Structure 1
Amino acid sequence: MVTLPLLTSQDGDMHRPMSIGALLRRLREETGRSQSEQADDLSVRAGRAVTRNEVSRWESEKRLVTPYWQQHCASSFGIPVEVLARAVAVGKARRRLARRAEDSSGGDSVERREFMGALAGLAASSLPNFPSSRSGGRASVDPEIIDHFVSLRDALVSADSLLGPGDLVRSAGEQVGNIAKLYERIESGSRGRLFEIGALFAEFCGWLADDLGDFDAGKGWSSRALEWAHSSGSATIAAYVLMRMSQQAQFLGERARAITLAEASIRYEAQVSSPQVCAAIHQQAAHASALDGHEHAAMNYIDRAQALSEAAAPALDPYSLASYCTPSYVSVQRAAVYGTLGNHERALAEYDHVMSQWPRSFHRERGLHLARRTTVAARAGLPEAALESGVEALRIAQDTRSHRTVRELAASAKIMRSWKAHPSVDEFIRAVRNERELNGHAER
């Protein structure tokens, strides 16, 4: 049996799920086999010949692996066939979307937006009519529909980083409604997994609501996500949702609630199967400790998160739940922890190191972290450094409609008021104020 690789691509987009060709190639390489050797192994398992050229076509996605050969490939690599089926679904979705993108006549940024818009549209409109079976004298939903919802969530999460929440929140909410309608119809053996994907969609809706500045809605979505996570029996998802609720509370300045929720999340650690989810809950525990002024504990938690994020062989996470929790992500959270502890110079140095390597495709998050760097620089008494990141962060916030980023920039602008005599600072403060007023979030 091979060690299952991280099921997301490593090309800079930290949310993008891995397609079937890349997955098959990585699995084969981890076994140390050539394409010819892989073909020989499959031929023996299937009792019928398959050539090296066919293996090559699967890995290049000139052909997608059929269900028959998915079974034998899964056996060959010692992994669940569902992992390959999901990767095939990702490959099919990308083929459809690539065909749509080819029709675009605009420039690169326009093509990207049209491509990602098509991705979001696919999630909103392509729910299939799966065949029903009979169970207990009533129609029940084929469990295959759950795999489709997994693919839809992948599509929406991928689109979020580039488009921001405004184009996606309605689509994601519609999928929660679709899932809720299935609870009474799904067979009992699949009900737990349906609650899992329902919890993940509700958590994602909470994320989108937060980014739009609708914090009451965000809390409501998170509460539903936690209820469904507990109903599913998944400690991994429950721990993750509690971590997200702690993030929400921290952002709103609810210190005690943020600390309590982070501690609740950590209590699940022994039951969490994914090192990346463990990394995510540890980095939030670091933030909670920093809020309490416990520097030693905060550094221990963030160091543990760093080590977990660098794990060479992460356990199977079928939903790529914390695939964003990479070493770079933990590093930028370390910078934020230093800022909370009041060590602004060290925080600024950490931000500068990690942001110089930050993937441009992770666009909206880049804006948020640059805004946090701006606040740190302002508190350190460095107006030029604050302006350097603040101007770029504001541009990204306008592009992605991220209320979180604008809110962070407003905090930095407040600190920078003492430097208003500097024309560039005054211009920046006015631009931030205008953006808040434009989006209905002006200070009262």
Structure 2
Amino acid sequence: MLAPDGIGVLLRTIREDAGRTRSEQARLIADAHDGYFDSENVKRWETENRLPTPMWDPALSVAYGIPQTTVRRAVGASRRYRKQAMAATVLLHDQEEDDMKRRTAVFGSAAIAAGLAADPWGRLAAAVSRPKVDAKTAAELTEKTAGFFTTEEHLPARLLARRLDGHLETLTALIPGAGRHERELMVAAGETAALAGWAAYDLGDTDRARNYYKTAALAGREAGHGAIVALALGYASYAMKPTAARDALADAQNHVRGRGYATARSWLAAREAEEAAGIGDQAGAVRALDRANTAFDYGTPGEQPWTCFFRQARLDSLSLSAYAKLRHPDLVPTADAALEHLGDDDSKVRIAVLHDVANGYLVAGEREPGVEIGHRFVKAATVTPTTMGRQRMKEFAAALPADTAAARALAEDIRAALVA
């Protein structure tokens, strides 16, 4: 049995999402490692018959397009899962062991917090043992929830969705016995459900996404934590029509007032500006951008785990998106600033920023840099496929002028990528 968040599932999912065979993946690893690599090792790692040693971290990072820290975390999860599985095997064959001790050792709150409830026997354990949640377990679960928002920036949506589902089942099983930690776990569950909705949207399952968002908002209301409602509205706005999205984003900002939410307010206000510009509300878009920039100046890194993606480059790109729709004179300087702030960021945020920069240049009449950055955008969107990336590729292909060979060639590249 593979660890739900282990190296085997990670490597197989990325390879399959890219449409590569094990032999093709082995050649990529060989190129990154600068030497021969047997494709059988890909199979051994995917099935976790063997685990990659640290010497392979750099090659796996390059060949799979993920940070080395993600590789190390996944290998560590697989090692922990092996130990837990071995402990369970020994214990279940020891008939003289006291039943209560057996339940505590194998299915206790610490094990469930590690993610065992992602499997059928883990879910049963959670149901029958009803472990009491102590402060340490609650803190571990909250920390794991926060970690998913950082992981989302790099991990394929299908793999992220599996991990989130398992984590949400863990929280669901523990909340009834959480006692004084109930609200803490409800907040974690609400944040997890919101992110699960975003992953579902990324996979094109809008109905599933909508249900997750509704559940997240319900958890936020029950816990008296309005920020979760704001988070759910922010994610859900991407699937709404522009007027409804603008209104939802304006409402969301009412749920993130007070200290600790400046970055969240900035994100939601910038998104409101983008949607307002889309329906021709120039005054509303400018006011929303003013609020976004002011709030961003007051924000500090790490205020909320779910705003870790919202850095200066992303604020720039949302401003660009609004400016392009408004034909604003600051398009080019804002595009230049976004590129400078983006740097070497290799996360999914890169896709959105590069699209908005390329489109901004095109709208401003700067075709050459628009096409140049457009190539970088298409490469990023192809390496890390997302629903938003595909939508933006379609929009960008339609916006490319047909009177230059370079623009026509890029449009053809995009169309080929969309049907691949």
If the TM-score is normalised by the length of the shorter chain, which range does it land in? 0.5 to 0.7
**Superposition pairs for residues 255-334 of structure 1, below 5 Å?**
255-270=242-257, 273-311=260-298, 317=303, 319-334=304-319
- Do structure 1's residue 119 and structure 2's residue 101 form an aligned pair? no
**One-letter amino acid of the structure 2 residue matched with residue 323 of structure 1:** C
Match of 1:430 among 394, 406, 412: 412
Partner of 1:77: none
Quote how far apart the aligned CAs of 1:158 are.
Answer: 2.5
Say which of 205, 213, 221 aligns to 2:196. Answer: 205
Indicate if the aligned counterparts of 1:119 and 1:155 stay in contact, CA closer than 8 A: no
* Distance of 1:232 and 1:105 partners within structure 2: 43
Corresponding residue of 1:79: none
Tell me, yes or no, if the aligned pair for 1:162 and 1:361 is still in contact at 8 Å. Answer: no
Q: Is residue 269–residue 289 contact of structure 2 (8 Å, CA) maintained in 1?
A: yes
Q: Say whether residues 1:167 and 2:149 are aligned partners.
A: no
Task: Give, in angstroms, the shift of residue 411 of structure 1.
Answer: 0.9
Deviation at 1:386, TM superposition (A): 2.6
5 Å-filtered alignment, 1:380-419, equals: 380-416=364-400, 418-419=402-403
| In the alignment, structure 1 residue 352 sits paired with structure 2 residue 339 | no
C-alpha distance in 1 between matches for 2:108 and 2:248: 40
Structure 1 gap segments, 5+ residues each? 1-98, 439-444
Is 1:240 the equivalent of 2:231? yes
> Amino acid of the residue matched to residue 212 of structure 2?
W
**Aligned CA distance change for structure 1 residues 326 and 180 (closer, same or farther; 3 Å):** same
Match status 1:337 vs 2:329: no
Corresponding residue number in structure 2 for 1:104: 57
Hey, what's the Cα distance between the residues in 2 that align with 1:271 and 1:307? 14
Structure 2: tracts of 5 or more residues without a match: 1-51, 85-106, 112-128
1:184 correspondence with 2:176:
yes
CA drift of 1:186 comes to 1.9
Q: CA deviation at 1:322?
A: 1.8
Q: For the residues of structure 1 that align with 2:275 and 2:69, how far apart are their CA atoms?
A: 38
1:100, distance to aligned residue in structure 2 (A): 6.2
Residue 36 of structure 1 corresponds to: none
CA distance in structure 1 between the partners assigned to 2:296 and 2:372 by the alignment: 30
Q: Is the 8 A contact 2:149 2:305 kept in 1?
A: no
Task: Compare the two structures and name the one with the higher helix fraction.
Answer: 2
Aligned residues: percent identity? 15
Corresponding residue number in structure 2 for 1:25: none
Shift of 1:358: 0.8
| Structure-1 residue corresponding to 2:109 | 130
Counterpart-to-counterpart distance in 1, 2:262 and 2:326:
26
The Cα of 1:185 is off from its aligned counterpart by 2.4
1:227 corresponds to 2:211: no
* CA 1:288–1:394: 2 relative to 1, 3 Å: closer
TM-score normalised by the chain length of structure 2: 0.68
For the 8 Å contact 1:370–1:390, the answer to whether it is kept is yes
After superposition, the C-alpha distances for 1:189-229 in whole angstroms (9 at most, x for unaligned) are 22111111111111112222233333333222222211111
Matches of 2:373 and 2:110, distance apart in 1: 53
C-alpha distance after superposition, 1:357-402 (max 9, x if no partner): 2142343211222122333344445442332111111111121122
Contact 2:263 2:300 in 1 (8 A): no
Superposed CA deviations along residues 82-129 of structure 1, whole A, max 9, x for unmatched, are: xxxxxxxxxxxxxxxxx9645536276249545314435767976984
The equivalent of 1:151 in structure 2 is: 143
Rate the CA distance shift 1:211–1:131 in 2: closer, same or farther, 3 A.
closer
Aligned-residue offset at 1:417: 5.9
Structure 1 residue matching 2:57: 3-state secondary structure: coil
Letter in 2 for 1:428: L
| Counterpart residue type for residue 435 of structure 1 | A
May I ask how many residue pairs the two structures share in their alignment? 326
Whether the 8 Å contact between 1:192 and 1:232 is mirrored in structure 2 is yes
CA distance in 2, matches of 1:385, 1:277: 32
Distance 2:350 2:186 in 1: 32
What SS is found at the alignment partner of 2:342?
Answer: coil
Cα RMSD of the aligned pairs, angstroms, is: 3.2
Contact 2:359 2:396 in 1 (8 A): yes
The structure-2 alpha-carbon separation of the partners of 1:236 and 1:399, relative to structure 1 and needing over 3 Å to count, comes to: same
